[in-house]
């Protein structure tokens, strides 16, 4: 995958970019990056809505991908998002919150929704709070925006920078998987500390001991090690990430 492979499409208004991008998955071998200026029915993980405030980024990538290697893709997508934000300003704290949120100064600045597309296409939907953060009453985790952290960019510019990083990390995952997984681990918040995992109506506590080859979270509980495929995590102990 190279940056030059991407066809960037910008639409004025869509319901969800994750739906709109399907219209372009008609031929084999395409790399589509569809960005919408306005999104009227954005969705988040686990059935939540994604407040899509004007000026923020609503982007969906679509390309053919072997679902067996989904773990690698999750790593590449979140690591490249983390790196894109770090490249704007190395000073604020930028961390990955499992599975693929990005935290900026301990608040969520970005979320990702992976869905299966048509045929062998996979869709990676990315929302970045560029200029606005959502209303705090309706969200699960404190939110922020790049603007609040003093970073100035636009959704269009961020898209280009992200695609550069994403193409780079997808290749790194193919050529040097070990190094990329290590980088993910180094940039993830809370490994080795106590967390709470929220799944449907259940809550579980344990030590976040890392991820497995599929990207599942490994939670060490009093009853042993559990693999968590889907859920939301909350940090219980103050985490010292060595900063």
Question: What residue ranges bind ligand BTN (CB under 6 A)?
Answer: 16-18, 42-45, 48, 50, 58-60, 101, 111-113, 125-127
- C-alpha span between 42 and 134 (Å, rounded): 13
Supply the minimum distance, in Å, between the C-beta of residue 176 and ligand BTN.
Answer: 28
Instruction: Please say which residue, 158 or 172, places its beta carbon nearer to ligand BTN.
Output: 158
Supply the minimum distance, in Å, between the C-beta of residue 170 and ligand BTN.
Answer: 19
Kindly state the DSSP code that residue 162 receives in the 8-state scheme.
H
Supply the minimum distance, in Å, between the C-beta of residue 181 and ligand BTN.
Answer: 22
Instruction: Please say which residue, 124 or 211, places its beta carbon nearer to ligand BTN.
Output: 124
Supply the minimum distance, in Å, between the C-beta of residue 14 and ligand BTN.
Answer: 8
- C-alpha span between 116 and 61 (Å, rounded): 11
Full 3-state SS string of 72-94: HHHHHHHHHHHHHHHHHCCCCCE
Taking alpha carbons only, the member of 8, 217, 18, 6 closest to residue 111 is 18
Supply the minimum distance, in Å, between the C-beta of residue 229 and ligand BTN.
Answer: 15
Instruction: Please say which residue, 101 or 133, places its beta carbon nearer to ligand BTN.
Output: 101
Q: What are phi and psi of 190, to 5 degrees?
A: 95, 5
- C-alpha span between 99 and 73 (Å, rounded): 12
* Residue nearest ligand BTN, CB atom distance: 111
Sequence length of the chain is: 243
Instruction: Please say which residue, 53 or 207, places its beta carbon nearer to ligand BTN.
Output: 53
Adjacent-strand bridge partners of 112: 126
Q: Which two tokens stand for residue 16?
A: 């969800």
Supply the minimum distance, in Å, between the C-beta of residue 48 and ligand BTN.
Answer: 6
Instruction: Please say which residue, 45 or 95, places its beta carbon nearer to ligand BTN.
Output: 45
Instruction: Please say which residue, 48 or 86, places its beta carbon nearer to ligand BTN.
Output: 48
- C-alpha span between 128 and 158 (Å, rounded): 9
Instruction: Please say which residue, 33 or 207, places its beta carbon nearer to ligand BTN.
Output: 33
Question: Who contacts 35 (Cβ-Cβ below 8 Å, separation ≥6)?
Answer: 8, 9, 10, 11, 17, 57, 58, 59, 155, 156, 159
Question: Who contacts 183 (Cβ-Cβ below 8 Å, separation ≥6)?
Answer: 79
């Amino acid at each position: 995958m190279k940056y030059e492979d991407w066809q960037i499409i910008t639409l004025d208004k869509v319901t969800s970019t994750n739906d709109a991008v399907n219209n372009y998955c008609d031929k084999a071998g395409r790399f589509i990056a569809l960005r919408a200026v306005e999104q009227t029915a954005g969705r988040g993980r686990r059935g939540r809505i994604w407040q899509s405030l004007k000026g923020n980024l609503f982007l969906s990538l679509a390309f053919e991908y072997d679902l067996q290697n989904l773990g690698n893709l999750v790593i590449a997508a979140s690591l490249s998002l983390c790196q894109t934000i770090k490249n704007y300003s190395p000073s604020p704290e930028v961390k990955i919150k499992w599975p693929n949120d990005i935290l900026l100064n301990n608040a969520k600045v970005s979320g990702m929704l992976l869905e299966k597309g048509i045929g062998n296409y996979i869709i990676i939907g990315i929302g970045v709070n560029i200029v606005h953060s959502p209303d705090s009453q309706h969200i699960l985790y404190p939110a922020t925006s790049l603007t609040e952290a003093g970073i100035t960019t636009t959704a269009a510019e961020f898209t280009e920078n992200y695609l550069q990083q994403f193409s780079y990390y997808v290749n790194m995952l193919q050529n040097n998987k070990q190094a990329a997984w290590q980088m993910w681990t180094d940039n993830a918040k809370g490994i080795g500390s106590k967390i709470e995992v929220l799944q449907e109506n259940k809550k579980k506590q344990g030590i976040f001991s890392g991820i497995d080859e599929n990207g599942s979270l490994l939670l060490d509980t009093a009853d042993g090690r559990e693999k968590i495929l889907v859920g939301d995590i909350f940090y219980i102990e103050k985490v010292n990430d060595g900063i």
